[in-house]
Structure 1
Amino acid sequence: MNIYYVMVLIWSAFYFVMSLTSELPWATCDNEWNTPMCVTEATHNSTTMNLTIDSTVEFWRYRTLQMSDGMESPGSIVKELAICSLFVWIVLYLCVCRGIRITGKIMYVTSLFPYVILTILLVRGVTLDGATDGIRFYLEPNFSYLKNYQVWIDAGTQILFSLGLTFGAMPMIGSYNKEHNNFYRDCFFIAGINSLTSIYGGLAVFSILGFMAKTQGLPISAVADAGPGLAFITYPKAVTQMPVAPFWSSLFFLMLFVVGFGTEVVGIETLITPIVDLYPKRLRTMKGKMLSLRRVLCRVVSARLCLPYKGRDIRVQPCGLLRR
């Protein structure tokens, strides 16, 4: 998970940098990566919609991912994404190299700062024309879906993953608590904050999707997407129709980066903690260039880019369970 989830951070960092312009690059079809089939919202023609590709989609496919024709043509390393990967892993290493004490302090920033940005986006979203329709679509339940077992499977998968139970994050963090810590209270508090945050974030997203649907004259269900498509296609397309689009785009991708960064930091600690638990004395007394287990991990997962980096060796701190 540490290897694949970091791609969200890399894409977010790339989109953030690309947003720092006077005009968003995916808002036009005048770029070198665009094809003759490229269209923008201003030039879109419903009679030829099956023969065209939106400029936001082309930016995602041909600029960001630089997709090849198929498995038989793997292509080459995308230089910009490789640089973003190097940057992300260096920052991750600097955040986890001193152990859980420093990581815990960093989590205050990665946990609280996204709420500030989310609130700004929500305030802006509800002032847009069509935001009410988007929020109504988001909050009105469709009970017919409850008869579909796949909905319950998806819901269970999402809540277990978002709570960090399925990859051991919460047990790892809990192992650093004091022996008589009230973990019942913590469990209910974390579960409640997790669900309320999802609802709060949905208000911000669907208010802007409602604006996008109103602008295009489409039902909201037609513009809503899931997975990477929502964050890197639908939302970027929506902000192009807003005043001062680069500002709102950079703000959104900064929030996405910080949220993903906090998750990745916890993911790294989840992998490191049990290893340190097994060999605490050996890992604390190792000498040489590869003294830090955290550096080894960051090097291994970023080695696919052949971009190693150097730094000072820092000892690994043992887990809270062994300290007790």
Structure 2
Amino acid sequence: MTAPPPGTAPSPGTTAPAGAVPPSAAAAPWRPVSSCDRGCLHPRPPTVGHLRRTLRIAAFLLLLAHLPLLALTRLAGHRVSDAAYRCSMRGILRSVGVRWTVTIHGAHAPTSPVAPLVVSNHTSWLDVTVLPAALPVRLVSRADLRRWPVIGWIAAVGRSLYVDRDRLSTLPDSVARITAALRRGDAVAVFAEGTTWCGAAGGRYRPAAFQAALDAGAAVRPVAVRYRIAGTLTTGASYVGSMSAAESVRNTAALRGLAVDVTVLPLIPPGTAPDRRSLAALAERAVDAHSPVALRCSRRHCSARHAGCTRCAGGPRENGPVAGAPLTNDLKGRR
């Protein structure tokens, strides 16, 4: 649970939802900004009744209140605490009525002792629960989360790696910590868009975190996270614009039949790309190839509202599907 409140701006590769960027961000061009807002959400999605919605929110809050007890599992070592952490993340998904499937393309375990850098798209606050629930990863999070009650303790149990979003000068040290973790065999997950998008549109993958993969000689594991209702892609779970964390949780708990498809894509081997920007572009295209073309914006940074942007037809698709790459329609994952 590393998503900060809207109205803050993330640094490259950190988990942070979209929101209004403070004036100081004008002097920080490295901070990505999403143009998605409430207009991107699908209108009138199927919802559960008020009683079930209330019970889901109550279960979520009760589970969240007990999660700090996970800190006790650290006394038994990382293997035990990591397993407990993953179980807790799965519990959070169940508490708000979310089901998930995992599909793996290609060999899951790399042959190298160096762990892969896991890179995913970023749509919802649920993403920071889905990835640890599905895969044994350490998340890259905002540095100030360490001081947050409850959330900070959960991030500590999950052995999050922190990036100071306000000081670009600390970025080399952050990259070095990610590099060291990869060399120790810890898979590190980063949301390279740097902020949340609605899912029908997305942002450019920021290259900073990919430098850690180059320095460690690590492979990159792209992961596509897609939200569906009744088998159809939805933006209903998106955490965008000026939406508050409480509002996003309420919206998610109200959805009927929300499911998450986690598609673990083939590894991008070390040495495939000469630099971090090229490596980021490869991972971005791999994840985009698992977006249905009908829902993908033809211009990734189109200034139009995405409700119309996803239907625009002007110009070639900047991030078209990779030839021969399968889409997510054939997912046959496991719970």
Select the structure of larger CA radius of gyration. Answer: 1
Q: Which structure features the higher share of helix residues?
A: 1
TM-score, normalized by the shorter chain, greater than 0.5: no
TM-score range, shorter chain: under 0.3
State the TM-score, normalized to the length of structure 2. Answer: 0.23
Q: Which structure features the higher share of strand residues?
A: 2
State the TM-score, normalized to the length of structure 1. Answer: 0.24
